[in-house]
Structure 1
């Protein structure tokens, strides 16, 4: 077994190795000396980056892709039981490890910061990774998106800090034992796994209960779900709670957020002192993510003024209001937002950053279950745009639900006064957008699916 590797993780096989969460774990294992292999449904830049680290990446899923000497098979909750590689693992008696267990084993022995919340996890985790790296602390990190600077979502560092996204969607964040836990927000989502808000609160409470004795919970003082969660916490004898936000009672209080084009200047009050720093993404939503990162770093004993300065080095995450380019005076920006709260935050941020521009959105709903529960709210959020194109639902891991289509969102948007154009054929979108835009407009491709692929296509069409 290679040095520093958990038991049975020296020859892992990942099913779905190209996914955001899976690829990060695979990269760290490869950097630690493991002989990594896996498969994914299609070629991607992620697959190439894994091969560059020495991993074997197969395209497509087939039983023969699983090497007989594999020490474990790593899966996510999205892998179905009839996957041929998973079936072959059972035949060979190869242990199957959930992604969250693999990540938990990598975090063992480190001073872990686990970032949780219905939305904002990737941005906040990224901000911490960049700031801690800038300060020379050489952290390990596993993020659900690629950092703009390093261009990767994971790294094995020589330092003793490990920063990771903690995914609540399938309760897997309950596997971690962090020194610092961040809860950004608590909202109803992931309807295939949670039947009610009470179930979600119980799940988050279990996550918080895993913080090591003497550790810290950093939690929003403003977001209603986070406030409710804090009120439900029972045994606080071994837990320090640090609140952040606009509330006058917050331990780290947001004094002011000043828009500066596509950036923001943030001033906070901490221990009676004012600290001001720059965040390289627009909007209050992202500014508050940065304040959560500041509070978490301070909880590890890192001087707050050093953290504030280092946070200014964060330049963004791919798909989080990422500028894809400009053509004929039209800027195209990519957003991962797929929950109504995220959609509203990104649309308001772009409104604040470019108040004189028309804002056009290409929105792709993500998951039938989410659309069924939150489609009306998604439609209302789109009313913040000047005009929208709405695509068919991106199914991801789900089967269709009878009667649930993008029409639910389109009807709600129109009822809220929005200008909405339904488009089922994604190949037609660049032409549709070209017919809608004029110089000075902003086009936002929005959603967690393959809508991101349309950005370059729209730019090409606008150029021609």
Structure 2
């Protein structure tokens, strides 16, 4: 069971023949605490879902401690990204079998269809789970190297003029940076425009400086009006314009709008000058672009 549509599955679930259940769970509303894992994978711990964790990262770390505690002592296996300081901090107090991985310890033989170091890291985590369950190395590689990805992760939407348009769910700084670097890896010497929609006021406020940093990694970034649920965060004053202002640079690569009409006027102008356009965010931007430009694969 996964959180996105997988073309190979024809949905979000595939029913197998063995006595294993593999579930993609996350910390939103502490949903992952309702699982009973024998093996757990943690790829990172970030300041996310702050509507569920008003005290921020310390409260999130406590939730992950409870998640790790669900593993059976001595026999439980934790597979985790070893260079995440938050993971290292909370994992050290448990009597478990640890399997850490990082950029220097990728699974051998990976030749993925999906580009990017973050995908190779995630594939390594999946390979380590399969290895713990006794799956042969050649079968692990065949499955991973043939995997074509998930909808809304580097998903190709079509063309607008000469620009190739892609959609990605990335909405946190670490995800945005990983996605841009993946496109740099795949499309060498191509001009890249990132079109980003901030998601939720508190999340934007907490990540403002980092958002302004990672959005300069593209040749140009265009920021759409912020997505938020009316009545939920009315006490927070922040807008998309604040991301551009946070660069402290009058010649910034970031252009931001709080008005949809002005945003799409600029979008129409910019896409004529770029080879690759990445639509990013967890809000409604990609749907607006698909409807406005009749994008279909």
TM-score clears 0.5:
yes
d(CA) in 2 for partners of 1:304 and 1:226? 27
1:276 aligned counterpart, secondary structure = coil
Residues 416 and 278 of structure 1: is their aligned pair in 2 closer, same or farther, counting only changes over 3 Å? farther
CA distance in 1 between counterparts of 2:240 and 2:203 reads: 11
Count of aligned pairs between the two proteins: 292
> Take 1:375 and 1:440, find their aligned partners in 2: how far apart are those partners?
26
Q: Tell me the equivalent position of 1:219.
A: 80
- Where in structure 2 are the equivalents of 1:368-387 lying within 5 Å? 368-387=201-220
Q: TM-score, normalised by structure 1?
A: 0.59
Higher relative contact order (CA 8 A, sep 6+): 2
Equivalent residue for 2:102, pick from 245, 249, 263: 245
Instruction: Determine which of 205, 225, 231 is the counterpart of 2:65.
Output: 205
Q: What does residue range 132-147 of structure 1 map to in structure 2 within 5 Å? A: 142-147=1-6
In structure 2, the partner of 1:308 is 141
1:168-179 to structure 2, matched below 5 A, reads 168-179=27-38
Larger radius of gyration: 1
Q: Deviation per CA, 1:274-302: give whole Å up to 9, x if none.
A: x3122221111111011111011111221
Distance 1:282 1:325 in 2: 18
Q: Deviations over 1:66-108 (max 9, x none)?
A: xxxxxxxxxxxxxxxxxxxxxxxxxxxxxxxxxxxxxxxxxxx
Residue segments in structure 2 that go unaligned for 5+ positions in a row: none
Q: Distance between the aligned counterparts of 1:158 and 1:180, measured in 2? A: 19
Q: Counterpart of 2:125?
A: 292
Aligned with 1:278: secondary structure? coil
Partner of 2:275: 441
Give 1:31-180 correspondences, 5 Å limit: 142-180=1-39
Following superposition, the deviation at residue 386 of structure 1 comes to 1.6
CA RMSD, 1 decimal: 2.3
Q: For the residues of structure 2 that align with 1:378 and 1:307, how far apart are their CA atoms?
A: 35
Which residue is equivalent to 2:224? 391
Instruction: Decide whether the 8 Å contact of 2:201 with 2:236 is kept in 1.
Output: no
**Higher percent of residues as strand:** 1
Equivalent position SS for 2:214: helix
Q: Is the 8 A contact 1:190 1:370 kept in 2?
A: yes
TM-score by structure 2 length? 0.89
1:192 pairs with one of 40, 51, 55? 51
Does the 8 Å CA contact 1:322/1:335 hold for their aligned counterparts? yes
